[in-house]
Amino acid sequence: MALDGIVLNSVVYELHRQLVGGRIDKVFQPDRQTIILLIRVPGKNLQLLINGDPQQARMHLTDLAPENPAAPPAFCMLLRKYLEGGRIAAIAQQGLDRTVHLSVENWSEEGGVTARTLVVEIMGRHSNVILLDNQLLMLDALHRIPGSLNRHRELLPGRRYVAPPFQAKDNPFTACRERVLSALVTADAQQKIAHLLVQSFMGLGPGTAREIIARAGLPPETTARSLNPAQQERLAAVFLQFMSCLQQHHYQPTVIFPPHGGGVIDFACYDLLQYPDTEHRHYPSMAQAMDVFFRAERIRSIPGKDALRKLLRNESQRAERKLQLQRSELATARQAAELKLLGDLLTANIGLIRKGQREITVQNYYDPAQQEITISLDPKLSPVENAQHYYHRYAKAKRSIDILEQQIAETDREIEYLETVLLQLEDALSKSDLQEIRFELTEQSYLPPPAPTGKPQKRAAAPAVKPLRFTAPDGSEIYVGKNNKQNDYVTFKLARNQDIWLHTKDIPGSHVILRMQTGEPSQAALEMAAKLAAYFSKSRFSSQVPVDYTLRKHVHKPSGAKPGFVIYEQQHTLYVTPDEAITEIAGRGN
C-alpha cells in the first residue's frame, strides 16, 4: 500500500504524542534517501526515520540502526547545523495531504530562538525532504529540483517554498451521509466505487477505498451503476463508521502476509479485511508495523539497482546540461539573422564605401522609421568583400541553426529515453529484470562492455524476454513490457497486426498489448489494459491519465531509434485512474 493521507494521519498522531518536546541529539543519513533523527525524550532515545525514496517514501519511529557512511552527505551536514540541539515544537500533517511539517526550535547565532521546519513530502516519485527557515525560504532539499525540470515548483536553496498543489476534495472525517451518497449518485455510473471515493475525499488512497468497500460487503470492482439504494445506504454507513473510528484514533496497525510466507503484501492502521485468505499480524504501534513491512521490502530489494539508478540520474543531468547549452547557442545563432540585413545594406550602398574605411553609417531601408545604422567594416577588404563577409557569416549561422535544432531534438529524445529507463528500473521486480536493463544500457554505450579476460570471448547473449502477462475479465490476454527491450518485443514480435496497442499519451511508460480473439475488444478488457498502461507509467500516482490505443499495425519504429521508441497514428484516447491493486498482481511475477 502507498502511504495515503488517512494512514499517514495515524502515523503523525503517533509521532506527535511521542516526539513533541523532544530534543534532536543527532542527525544521520545512512543512504541517499534516508534521514535518521535521534531524539531524546524523557527516559529514552527514539529514532525517527524519514525516507524520500520514490517507491518507499515514509516516516515513522524505528528500532533499526542502519550503518552510516564514514563521510556524511552535504544535506546531512546541513541538517546537523540547523537541527541538532533543537526542540521539536510540533509535528503536523497538512490537512489530509501526504505532507508533514516538523517544526524545530533552536538557538540562532544571534542568541535568540529561531524556528525551522522540516517538510516531509510523501508523494510517490515526487517525494522529498525540505528544510525551511523561519521565512519559509528553502535552506536545501534532499532532492533538488531546478526550474529546467519543474518550472512551476523549483526546490532549490534560497527559493521560497511553494506547497504541492492542493486538491479540492471533501474531508472524510467531517463528511455526512448525504455527501457520501451524492458522491455515489451524481458521478459517472460507469466508474468504480473505489475511484469515486478517491476522487471525492481527501486523503483516501485506493487501498483505503477498497477497504471501505470490502467492509460494506461489496466486490472491489463494483460500479456506481450496479448499486441499489440499500447498498448505497450500507456503503455510506460503513464509510461514516470507519472514518469516525479513525478520527477518534482507534487504530489497529496491521501487516498482511501471504498464507504460505514469501514476503509481505500490505500494511495499514486498520485491519485489512479486503485480504480474507492471508495472515493478519497486528502490532501495538504503526512504527512497529511499518518497521516489519519495510524490513521485508528491503530484503526483496535487488542488488545493483542503486548503481544503475545513480548512472541514469548522472546521465540525465549531463543531458540536461547539454540541452541548456544547445538552447543558449541556438538563441545566439538566431540573433545572427541581423547579419544578412547588414550585408543587404552594404550592397545597397556599395558605391558609398571606400576601401580602408572602418565603418559606415547608412539609412536602414528595412526600418519603418528609416533610422540610420552604423556598420563595422574591415579596412583590408574591398566594399564587395565586406558585404560578402556579412553574407558568409549569416550563412554559417543559418547552418548552425539547422544543426543545433537537430541536436536539441536528439538531446530531448535522449532525456526522454533516460527518464523511461529510470522509470523501468524502479519497477524492476527481479534480478532478470535488472539484467535486461543492464544489457540494454551496455548496447546503448551507457555501460562499458565486460572487461576482456584474455580468452576468446563470445558475444553476451541477451537475457530471455519475459513481459508481464495478465488476463482480462473476458479472458483476453494482456502483455506489458517491463523495460524497453520487452516493449520492442511485445510490440513488434509478440503482437499481431489486429491486436490493440496501448501507451500513455506523451508520458513515459510501458507498451501494452491487448490480444484480440475476434471482433472488437470488450470494454472491460480495454479498460483493464488502459489501467495497466497508466500504472506502468510515470503517472502511476495520478488520476485521469490519458492512454492512447490503436491497432498494432499503426505502430512503427523509426530507423535508428532507441529501444522502446515508436510513432503511431489513428489512435483513440481513454482517461483512466491507475489502480494500485495491480501491484499485487505484478509483484507475483509473470
Report yes or no: 283 and 10 within 8 Å, Cβ to Cβ. Answer: no
Strand order in the sheet with 44-51: 58-62, 44-51, 34-41, 23-31, 87-93, 99-107, 113-121, 128-132, 138-141
DSSP 495-521: --TTSEEEEETTS-B--EEE---SSSP
Rounded average pLDDT over 509-515: 95
Q: What's the whole-number average pLDDT of the chain?
A: 88
Is 585 a residue whose pLDDT tops 60? no
Query: What is the architecture of the domain spanning 5-141?
Result: Roll (2.30)
- Structure-model confidence comparison of residues 332 and 584, the more confident one: 332
**What's the pLDDT at 168?**
83
Q: Any idea where the domains of the chain sit in the sequence?
A: 5-141, 172-299, 308-425, 468-586
In tens, the pLDDT along 398-451 reads 888 889 999 999 999 999 899 999 888 877 766 778 888 999 999 899 998 876
- What pLDDT, on a 0 to 100 scale, did the predictor assign at position 204? 93
536 vs 582: CA distance, rounded Å: 10
| Phi, psi torsion values for 573, nearest 5 degrees | -130, 130
pLDDT band at 317 (very low <50, low <70, confident <90, very high): very high
pLDDT at residue 588, rounded to an integer:
36
How does residue 87 score in pLDDT terms, banded at 50, 70 and 90?
very high
Element (H, E) at 388: helix 383-426
Residue 237 has pLDDT above 60, yes or no: yes
Whether 308-425 and 172-299 are alike in CATH topology: the answer is no
Q: Residues 345-404: pLDDT tens digits?
A: 899 999 889 889 999 999 888 888 888 899 999 999 999 999 999 898 888 888 888 899
Q: What's the pLDDT at 341?
A: 86
φ, ψ at 195 (rounded to 5°): -70, -40
Judge whether residue 66 has pLDDT over 70.
no
pLDDT band at 484 (very low <50, low <70, confident <90, very high): very high
- Residue 580, pLDDT above cutoff 50: no
Q: Tell me the pTM.
A: 0.54
Task: Number of helices (H) and strands (E) in the chain: give both, helices first.
Answer: 14, 22
- Per residue in 156-184, pLDDT tens? 999 999 998 887 899 999 999 999 998 88
Q: Hey, what CATH topology would domain 308-425 get?
A: Helix Hairpins (1.10.287)
Range among 187-191, 452-456, 540-544 rated most confident: 540-544
Q: For residues 62 and 69, is the Cβ–Cβ distance under 8 A?
A: no
Percent of all residues in the chain with a pLDDT value above 90, rounded to a whole number: 56
Q: Report pLDDT for 463.
A: 58
Cα distances (Å, whole numbers) of residue 326 to 339, 407, 409, 551 = 21, 8, 10, 37
As a whole number of angstroms, the distance between CA 508 and CA 537 comes to 6
For residue 457, the model assigns a pLDDT of 56
- 582: pLDDT strictly greater than 60: no
Fold of 172-299: Helicase, Ruva Protein; domain 3 (1.10.8)
